[in-house]
Amino acid sequence: MTTQVTVSSLSVFRQFHALTKPRVIQLIVFCALIGMVLAVPGRPTLAQIGLAMVACLGIWLVAAAAAAFNCIVEKGIDAKMKRTAWRPTARGELSNTQTLVFSALLGAAGSAVLYVWVNPLTMWLTFATFVGYAVIYTVILKPLTPQNIVIGGASGAMPPVLGWAAMTGDVGPEALILFLIIFLWTPPHFWALALYRVEDYRKSGLPMLPVTHGSEFTRLQILLYTFVLFAACLLPFVYGMSSWLYLATAVVLSIGFCAYAWLLWREYSDELARRTFRFSLIHLSVLFAALLLDHYLL
């Protein structure tokens, strides 16, 4: 009997954990951490390390709340798509009430952590990001316009700004450069996914760009965005935020992303779209890791 209760409790925990979209949240917190690190000149003090850890916790909680709320709004769409049909809300394993309470508790806890132990600016910026993603993007933009991911990408680009605000109490131009990089990275990243998942999106009724404008037009947009992104990735060096280590990494990664986009534009295949999507994840992760190494090593 005890074993059955333990297994059941573990299953419920896994269902709630799945609502938080752990892989997405890890990238969000990582990007926020980069903003925190770059905001502190030299090596941080123990007090600054503690502040960063608390800020990461608060940002994680609010981001997880937004992810859970997203699962409520999109449970009907999720049920129609292979990529998301496994989610507990889509399968009916968790009710709307359970998920909403879970989201509200996470959001309230995260906001309290940020307001009390970090600073009010970070709390309000994080709350605005929650509203931007969970309401403006998910409820309004995503079902209405194929430019949903472009406009809604502003919410996804906020983590470095949140990290910077947590450590400094303001938003500097360096944080806005990081914001711009993620903002321009988001469309080619998601459109590459949408290309090989186009039938899923067509069934769901969402007006993603490959559905409304076709594959060729989407591939051209991916190519153009990678060119603009290339230029944006040079800004940390141009502005003086980084040195040659970052610049070399940014150039190599950006050439790679542009090369994938060029091949995708010239001759499409689902496998190439998958590889482009995977490389986009490597691009952003390694780019920000290079910023981190550059900050401490040079």
Total number of domains constituting the chain: 2
Q: How far apart, in whole angstroms, are the C-alpha atoms of residue 246 and residue 286?
A: 10
Max distance between CA atoms of the chain, in angstroms, equals 64
292 and 162 share a domain? Answer: no
The answer on 185 and 82 residing in a single domain is: no
Same domain as 179, residue 134:
no
Matching residue, tokens 């931007």: 132
Residue 250 corresponds to which amino acid? A
238 band by pLDDT with thresholds 50, 70 and 90? very high
Query: Which residue would you say has higher pLDDT here, 282 or 206?
Result: 282
Q: Cα dihedral sign for 163, 37, 55, 73? A: positive
pLDDT at 9: 54
Q: For residues 241 and 290, state if they share a domain.
A: yes
In terms of domains, do 80 and 188 share one? no
Both 161 and 191 in one domain: the answer is no
pTM: 0.89
Determine contact, residues 65/130, Cβ cutoff 8 Å: yes
Among residues 170, 203, 218, the one where a domain terminates is 170
Same domain flag for 165 and 185: no
Task: Check pLDDT > 80 for residue 123.
Answer: yes
CATH number at residue 89: 1.10.357.140
CB-count exposure of residue 72 (10 Å: 0-12, 13-18, 19+): buried
The pLDDT-based confidence of 3 (bands split at 50, 70, 90) is very low
Where does the pLDDT of residue 244 fall: very low under 50, low under 70, confident under 90, or very high at 90 and above? very high
> For residue 153, is pLDDT > 50?
yes
Predicted pLDDT at 246? 95
pLDDT exceeds 50 at position 1: no
Percent of the chain at pLDDT exceeding 70:
95
Residues 182, 108, single domain; the answer is: no
Last residue of a domain, which of 143, 170, 197? 170
Residue partners of 206: CB distance under 8 A and separation at least 6: 77, 142, 143, 148
Are 193 and 120 in the same domain?
no
166 lies in the same domain as 257: no
Question: Which letter, b or e, does each residue of 222-250 get, where b requires 16 or more Cβ atoms within 10 Å of its Cβ?
Answer: bbebbeebbebbbbbbeeebbeebbbebb
Q: What is the pLDDT of residue 6?
A: 41
Q: Summarize the confidence of residues 9-22 as an average pLDDT.
A: 78
User: Does the structure show a pLDDT above 90 at 11?
Assistant: no
Reply yes or no on whether the pLDDT at 212 is more than 80: yes
Please tell me the predicted confidence (pLDDT) of residue 168: 95
Predicted pLDDT at 5:
38
Domain of 158 in residue numbering reads as: 1-170
Q: Is 36 in the same domain as 62?
A: yes
CA 6 vs CA 88, 94, 133: distances in Å: 19, 18, 35
